[in-house]
Amino acid sequence: MYDLIIKNGKLVYDSYTIENDIAVKDGKIVQIGKFSDEQASRVVDATGKYVLPGGVEAHMHCMAPFQGALGANTFYEQSISAAFGGVTTFMDFANMSRGQSPFEQVKARRKEMEESAIDYSVHGKFIEANESTLKDIDKLVEYGTPTFKMFMTYKKEGVMAEDETILKVFQKCKEVKGLPMLHCESNPIAENNIRECEEKNDLSWVNFAKCKPVLCEAEAFSRAVWFAKYVDTGIIVVHTTNKEALDVAREAHSKGFPVYVETGPHYLTLFDDLYEREDGYLAICSPPLRTPKQAEELWDGIKDKTISLIGSDDCTFDVDEKSMFLEKDSDGKFIQDFRKVVNGLSGLEVRLPIMLSEGVNKGRISINDVVALTSTNIAKVYGCFPQKGILAVGSDADIVIVDMEKEVTLNKDLLHNNISYCLHEGMQIKGYPQMTISHGNIIVEDAKFYGEKFAGKFVERSIDKNIIKKFDL
């Protein structure tokens, strides 16, 4: 007797779709074929619907004291929002300050994430590379957390990794099968521009984006890729926003270098005109939002597979946190000073709906591409495939049923992210997750949450050697 059968759905893989049934027992997919209703305690009829492997979100910042703000959600609340957005595994970053042990910080983060209703993992973070932190890379790989973030900016905030640190971490990663993740923005370009704005006393939201132009990102992207080429190892570049950076990746890919490029739903659907609004501070994130043309160039990068990962970079700050350091003028309006705005946007719950609607239903990409970008590729690159990222016998029964005809209007009340605004307010979406299943348990059905606090499990990951070695062309 199976615990659950999902019947008549269109099972979506990264390169094909097939109509079939799925049988689940003890939290795993145990058979794919045709079954009768009597064979299971619970039967879900998915006729006309698409059945996807649960989403894997490898990029979010929850409860992460960032620029003095913590975010609106606990990890349990974040897991609820994730589940409504078709995400069944998420990963966050260790909080790091200089002098701390990356390994100890990852363990501490794991503990904080235990209350999650969905599966979870943690990335390390490197600010400095010395004998002790580099030894931690061995421990982190052994512990099942082989991915490490480094910021190429935020020097003043004390989290920037210098070039030498980046190089040493890359070298160690190559040795022990670790995989670095880079936030690429050139600190000198950004800081120089910010200083000029300070001198002109014009710190408007619009100038925020001007301080971190495309070349600020492309310069750092290029430097990271050259280090990776020099060391001959793989890297992930997170939240890429523009063609200039993608062209660097295209050149690297043409020579077989494993550079995995991520972009986020906000860079595909929100634009820098938001900075012209009085509440434009709500749209401040790093790198900044770009133009519609640049967003279309990102879609081109998705279509030609230069971009293989979609990560939301979710930072769910409510209005009070985004504006906590801003001052008001005598009319009660915020005095524009972008330096005082906490960076980051909410996006975890809308990631899949945006890719389904703007990607598939607008004819830009296939539903198979969406599975690749939001689940399979992420599981493969981050080292948890085939436990995650595929509907296969033996994989965890983490499944999302999607209704490609369902139309919704995005608004703050529809989402479960606990904030009082939605930057996508009013956006028409066609294609939405209807049911989310984690380890064979239905955790979202009919817009209600049935998951449990602490039900999520820590996912131990290891990077496949083929992920970090040069591709055969």
- Over the range 223-260, which residues count as b (16 or more CB within 10 Å of their CB) and which as e? bbbebbbebebbbbbbbbbbbbbbbbbeebbeeebbbb
**Judged by CB under 6 A, does residue 161 bind ligand DUC?**
no
Size of the site for ligand DUC (CB under 6 A): 9
Smallest separation (angstroms) from ligand DUC to the CB of 342: 8
User: Whose Cβ is closer to Zn ion: residue 183's or residue 340's?
Assistant: 183
Strand partners, 93: 123
Smallest separation (angstroms) from ligand DUC to the CB of 322: 11
> For the window 274-313, what string marks contact with ligand DUC as x by the rule CB under 6 A?
-----------xx--------------------------x
Size of the site for Zn ion (CB under 5 A): 2
Using CB under 6 A, which of 59, 183, 212, 243 touches ligand DUC? 183
User: Whose Cβ is closer to ligand DUC: residue 315's or residue 468's?
Assistant: 315
* Structure tokens, 307: 């971009």
User: Whose Cβ is closer to ligand DUC: residue 184's or residue 352's?
Assistant: 184
**Judged by CB under 6 A, does residue 150 bind ligand DUC?**
no
**What number of other Cβ atoms are within 10 A of residue 101's Cβ?**
17
352-411: contacts with ligand DUC (CB under 6 A): none
User: Whose Cβ is closer to ligand DUC: residue 230's or residue 421's?
Assistant: 421
The alpha carbon of residue 303 and the mean position of all alpha carbons in its chain are separated, in whole angstroms, by 19
**Judged by CB under 5 A, does residue 262 bind Zn ion?**
no
Look-up of token digits 């009660």: 332
* Structure tokens, 28: 């795993």
Sorted by sequence, the CB contacts under 8 Å of residue 125 that are 6+ apart come out as: 93, 94, 95, 96, 102, 105, 148, 149, 150, 159
User: Whose Cβ is closer to ligand DUC: residue 244's or residue 314's?
Assistant: 314
> For the window 211-250, what string marks contact with ligand DUC as x by the rule CB under 6 A?
----------------------------------------
**217-225, 296-304, 308-316, 377-385 -> range binding Zn ion (CB under 5 A):** 308-316
- Measuring CA to CA, which residue among 1, 71, 26, 62 is closest to residue 318? 71
| Backbone angles phi and psi of 167, in degrees to 5 | -60, -45
Smallest separation (angstroms) from ligand DUC to the CB of 68: 12
Using CB under 5 A, which of 7, 10, 109, 183 touches Zn ion? 183
Using CB under 6 A, which of 95, 306, 343, 441 touches ligand DUC? 343
**In 233-287, beta strands by DSSP E:** 235-237, 259-263
- Measuring CA to CA, which residue among 453, 443, 431, 430 is closest to residue 399? 443
Cis peptide bond upstream of 288, omega within 30 = no
Let me know: does 374 contact 353? Beta carbons within 8 Å.
Answer: no
User: Whose Cβ is closer to ligand DUC: residue 119's or residue 313's?
Assistant: 313
Smallest separation (angstroms) from ligand DUC to the CB of 286: 4
* Structure tokens, 69: 């703000």
User: Whose Cβ is closer to Zn ion: residue 119's or residue 313's?
Assistant: 313
Q: Which does 429 bind (CB under 5 to 8 A by kind): Zn ion, ligand DUC, none?
A: none
Whole-angstrom Cα distance, residue 83 to residue 110?
19
Smallest separation (angstroms) from ligand DUC to the CB of 326: 16
33-92: contacts with ligand DUC (CB under 6 A): 61, 66
**Judged by CB under 5 A, does residue 318 bind Zn ion?**
no
Smallest separation (angstroms) from ligand DUC to the CB of 192: 19
- Measuring CA to CA, which residue among 49, 32, 90, 47 is closest to residue 395? 32
User: Whose Cβ is closer to ligand DUC: residue 50's or residue 267's?
Assistant: 267
The alpha carbon of residue 184 and the mean position of all alpha carbons in its chain are separated, in whole angstroms, by 15
**Judged by CB under 5 A, does residue 313 bind Zn ion?**
yes
Look-up of token digits 């897991």: 79
- Over the range 137-158, which residues count as b (16 or more CB within 10 Å of their CB) and which as e? bebbbebbbbbbbbbbbbeeee
Question: Exposed (0-12), middle (13-18) or buried (19+): which is 25, by Cβ within 10 Å?
Answer: middle
Smallest separation (angstroms) from Zn ion to the CB of 212: 12
User: Whose Cβ is closer to ligand DUC: residue 23's or residue 166's?
Assistant: 166
**Judged by CB under 6 A, does residue 148 bind ligand DUC?**
no
User: Whose Cβ is closer to Zn ion: residue 117's or residue 182's?
Assistant: 182
**169-177, 204-212, 296-304, 313-321 -> range binding Zn ion (CB under 5 A):** 313-321
| Backbone angles phi and psi of 371, in degrees to 5 | -60, -45
Using CB under 6 A, which of 315, 350, 370, 384 touches ligand DUC? 315
User: Whose Cβ is closer to Zn ion: residue 106's or residue 443's?
Assistant: 106
Pairing of β 28-33 and β 17-25:
antiparallel
What is the CA angle 246-248-251, rounded to 5?
110
**Judged by CB under 6 A, does residue 186 bind ligand DUC?**
no
Interacting residues toward ligand DUC by CB under 6 A: 61, 66, 183, 285-286, 313, 315, 343-344
Interacting residues toward Zn ion by CB under 5 A: 183, 313
